[in-house]
Amino acid sequence: MDDQREALLALSLLCEPGNRLVSAELTRRDAVDTLQWLLAGRDDPAGAVARERLAGRAPADLVAETLETAHTCRARPITPLDDEWPSQVADLAELFDETDRYTGPPLCLWVRGRANLAEVVARSVAMVGARTCTAYGRYAATELAYGLADRDWTVLSGGAYGIDAASHRGALAAGGPTVCVLAGGIDHVYPSAHDQLFEQVTETGLLISEWPPGASPRRYRFLVRNRVIAALSLGTVVVEAGLRSGARYTARMAAELDRPVMVVPGPITSPASAGVHQLARGPAPVRLVTRAAEIIEDLGPVGPDPAPAPSPPSRPRDRLSPDAARILDSVPRRSAALPDRIAAQAGVPVEEARRILPGLAGERLVEDLDGRYRLTTEVTPA
């Protein structure tokens, strides 16, 4: 095999994602040489796994077979040699975890969906949390994801029950793309109850997996997968997490990758928020967030590429009271919302919102569409 991309695909199939031995080798040789090195009759676990997976086939045949399977489930592989590759995952090369050898950068990401991988995750935030969430957690995840998607941020999560699903659904409700990083092949709908959700995700966003079609999700793969969620996004928000939740592992990864970690507070009486509150107490720096605007603020500037976040003209805004400013921050940009929803997002009493919104409409900061409000559409100069 002398094609570098094909060799990368073969390597990604012959070793478990995150394998540091292989990623270290790839810093010293190219993919073709690394594949030869891996298959040179090595007497170590990496060699044994590779031989077992080949099962006597040539690497090129394994790649061809997998691409065929991928084709039937509409998945395509993206490697570091492709334009769509999200270069930020290279940060994982610096992530050393004594207790886990599977923290290296991915060699290939299998994706399914209409979005361009690099573009859709360029302005993305991970929202993670417990499977066994409360109604409060589900509401908070939905609202925050809605607000993020409404402001053109991609919500990235793991597709699991609970907080993950609520985050994807909130983003979809705002018409935004959302990205779901799976811990098994894209053909494996896990949990199966989410088949419709996953279909919706592919319409504007992406399903992503490091594992090729056919690979089944396994317990340890969820933890390995979490590092990709942390690395693809610009920051991670933990919505609800018990004291032992895997979401805290994702948060730890994000912190080690120098990406902001944010938590959504909850009642101190709720075990579903206990892990979140413990995270907030350190040792890694953690920001508390209550609204989409705060998450965006904490993510900081996102580089020269993405469009600057839309903001209303600065003059009238400066005169606003703190409540009015919070309400303005909570008015959706695309689909108009009722004052109650805006008040809940802003953390301001409903009566205040009902009093303030008409004033904001008077100053042309928001539009009143039959009692629902959205930000005034900006006129972009041609």
Smallest gap, in angstroms, from Cβ of residue 287 to its own copies?
7
Q: Quick check: 382 binds its own copies (CB under 8 A)?
A: no
Smallest gap, in angstroms, from Cβ of residue 328 to its own copies?
14
Residue selected from 69, 116, 200, 290 as contacting its own copies according to rule CB under 8 A: 290
Region from 25-33, 102-110, 201-209, 258-266 binding its own copies, contact rule CB under 8 A: 258-266
Smallest gap, in angstroms, from Cβ of residue 244 to its own copies?
8
Q: Quick check: 324 binds its own copies (CB under 8 A)?
A: no
Q: Quick check: 271 binds its own copies (CB under 8 A)?
A: yes
Q: Quick check: 285 binds its own copies (CB under 8 A)?
A: no
Q: Quick check: 354 binds its own copies (CB under 8 A)?
A: no
Q: Quick check: 221 binds its own copies (CB under 8 A)?
A: no
Q: Which CB, 84 or 323, lies closer to its own copies?
A: 323
Q: Quick check: 277 binds its own copies (CB under 8 A)?
A: yes
Q: Quick check: 288 binds its own copies (CB under 8 A)?
A: yes
Helix/strand/coil (H/E/C) assignment for every residue in the chain: CCCHHHHHHHHHHHCCCCEHHHHHHHCCCCHHHHHHHHHCCCCCHHHHHHHHHHCCCCHHHHHHHHHHHHHHCCCEEECCCCCCCCHHHHHHHHCCECCECECCCCCCEEEECCCCHHHHHHCEEEEECCCCCCHHHHHHHHHHHHHHHHCCCEEEECCCCCHHHHHHHHHHHCCCCEEEEECCCCCCCCCHHHHHHHHHHHHHCEEEECCCCCCCCCHHHHHHHHHHHHHHCCCEEECCCCCCCCHHHHHHHHHHCCCCEEECCCCCCCHHHHHHHHHHCCCCCCEECCCHHHHHHHHCCCCCCCCCCCCCCHHHHHCCCHHHHHHHHHCCCCCCECHHHHHHHHCCCHHHHHHHHHHHHHCCCEEEECCEEEECCCCCCC
Q: Quick check: 266 binds its own copies (CB under 8 A)?
A: yes
Region from 116-124, 204-212, 247-255, 273-281 binding its own copies, contact rule CB under 8 A: 273-281
Contact residues for its own copies, defined by CB under 8 A: 136, 139-140, 243-244, 264-271, 273-274, 277, 280-281, 287-291, 294, 322-323, 326, 344, 347-349
